[in-house]
Amino acid sequence: MSLTGCDKGRKRFRNLDANIKPEAVHIVRFDEALMDITPAKAPAQIKDLTRQYPTEMTLWSNLLGYDSTSLQYLAPDWAMFLSDTLYSNTNKEVRRQYADISDIEEDLSKAYARLHIFYPQIVIPHIFFYISGFNSSIIADENTIGVGVDRYLGSDYWVYQNLYNVYNYQLYGMQRSCVAADIMSTTLFQHFLFPSDESRLLDKMLYYGRMLYLLSVIFPDIKENEIIEYTPLQWRWCIDNERAAWGKMLDNKALFNTDSFDQNQYLYDAPFTSPISPDSPGRMGTWFGYRIINSYMENNPDVTMQELMAEYDSQKILEKSGYNP
C-alpha cells in the first residue's frame, strides 16, 4: 500500500546527511529517579531530588498540581502512587521498554544536526523523561522538554483502554517510535511562533503544515502518516477522499473563516473532522496544510527552507503551490 500520495516536496532534502555531524544529545532519566523512591522514605528522597533535579522537579510538580503552598503533600501522595498496583505495574513496563534509550538519543542527535543545517542558532534543549501518572505526554519550558514515558508504551498497551483521559484516536501517537519526533516538534513550536496578526483558518493550516513539513525533512525516514500521527488507514482515507474533502472545505468557505470554534473543528485532535465527514480522521485542516506546503516546495524548487518558514503570505503560498487535488 502506498501511503505517501506525493511527498516529492521533501525529497529534495534527502542529501542532508552528507553534511551533518550528529549532535550530542543526552536524555536525563528523571523517570527512573522517581520510580526509585521508596514509599516509606518519600519525604526525604523527594527533598534530595529537588536538590539534584531542580528544573525537572519544578516542571513535574507543577504538572501534577503542586506549587509552593502545597508541596508538602507531594511526598505522601507520590508514596501512595508508587504503592498502587496499576501504577507500579506500569512503572515496571516503563523500565522494561525504556531500559535502553540509545536509539532515541541517536535519532535526536541526527535530527538536531539536520535542523542546524538550516537554523544553527537553535539550542538543543535540556531533555528529560518523567512519570506522569498518564497525565501528560510533554511538558516544556524555555530550553527544557520533558517526556512522560508512561504515555508512550504502545497503542496496544492494555491500561490505555481503561483511562478516562486517553481516547482511541490518540493511541497511534502513544508509541516509542513517536518520542523523538514529539520532542523535535516541541522544539519547532517553541522557536517558530504563530504570528498574532494572522487569524484565518488558511493561515493556521499553513502554519501547522510548515511545521509538519520541516519535521518530515528532519526525520527523512519517517513515513508521512507517522509525521502527522495518522494510522495507515487514516492516511489512505485522506488520499482517497482528498478531492471531495477539499471541495467541501471550499463549499463551506472555510479557508478564510476567522471564527475560532469553526477553525478548531479542522485543526484540533478529535475522532474525526466534523465539517468534512464522520469517516475522516481529525485534524484534516492540518493535513491539508501539509499537502499544500509539500506541493509548494515541490513546484518552487528555488525556495529555501528558511524562506518557507519566514513566508506568511498564505494566499501567495496557496496560489504558487499549484495545489489542486
Q: In this predicted model, what pLDDT tens digit does every residue of 71-87 receive, in sequence order?
A: 789 999 999 999 999 99
- How would residue 228 be classed by pLDDT, with cut points 50, 70 and 90? very high
Give the pLDDT score at 18. Answer: 76
Average pLDDT over residues 19-37: 93
57, pLDDT greater than 90: yes
Average pLDDT over residues 207-213: 97
Exposure letters 233-254 (e unless 16+ CB within 10 A, then b): ebbbbbbebbeebbebbeeeeb
Give the pLDDT score at 5. Answer: 45
Distance (Å, whole) CA 93 – CA 49: 23
Give the pLDDT score at 71. Answer: 79
Give the pLDDT score at 72. Answer: 85
- Counting other chains too, the contacts that 60-64 makes at CB distance below 8 Å and 24 or more residues apart are 60/30, 60/34, 60/130, 60/139, 60/146, 63/132, 63/135, 63/136, 63/139, 64/132, 64/133, 64/135
At 99-156, the pLDDT tens digits run: 999 999 999 999 999 999 999 999 999 999 999 899 999 999 989 999 999 999 999 9
Give the pLDDT score at 12. Answer: 76
Rg (Cα) of the chain, in Å, rounded?
21
Q: Amino acid letter at 151?
A: R
Give the pLDDT score at 9. Answer: 60
196, pLDDT greater than 50: yes
At 268-309, the pLDDT tens digits run: 999 999 999 999 999 999 999 999 999 999 999 999 999 999
The CA–CA distances, whole Å, from 35 to 11, 88, 262 equal: 43, 9, 43
Average pLDDT over residues 29-40: 96
Domain borders along the chain are 8-14+193-321, 30-100+125-191
Q: What is the dihedral of CA 111, 117, 119, 123, to 10 degrees?
A: 50
Tracing cell 534543549 back to the chain, one arrives at 125
Helices 284-299 and 242-251: crossing angle in degrees, nearest 10, is: 110
Is pTM beyond 0.85? Reply is yes
Give the pLDDT score at 8. Answer: 61
Per-residue three-class SS string for the chain: CCCCCCCHHHHCCHHHHHHCCCCCCCEECHHHHHHCCCHHHHHHHHHHHHHHCHHHHHHHHHHCCCCCCCHHHHHHHHHHHHHCHHHHHHHHHHHHHCCCCHHHHHHHHHHHHHHHHHCCCCCCCEEEEECCCCCCCEEEECCEEEEEHHHCCCCCCHHHHHCCCCCHHHHHHCCHHHHHHHHHHHHHHHHCCCCCCCCCHHHHHHHHHHHHHHHHHHCCCCCHHHHCCCCHHHHHHHHHCHHHHHHHHHHCCCCCCCCHHHHHHHHCCCCCCCCCCCCCCCCHHHHHHHHHHHHHHHHCCCCCHHHHHHCCCHHHHHHHHCCCC
Q: Amino acid letter at 176?
A: R
48, pLDDT greater than 80: yes
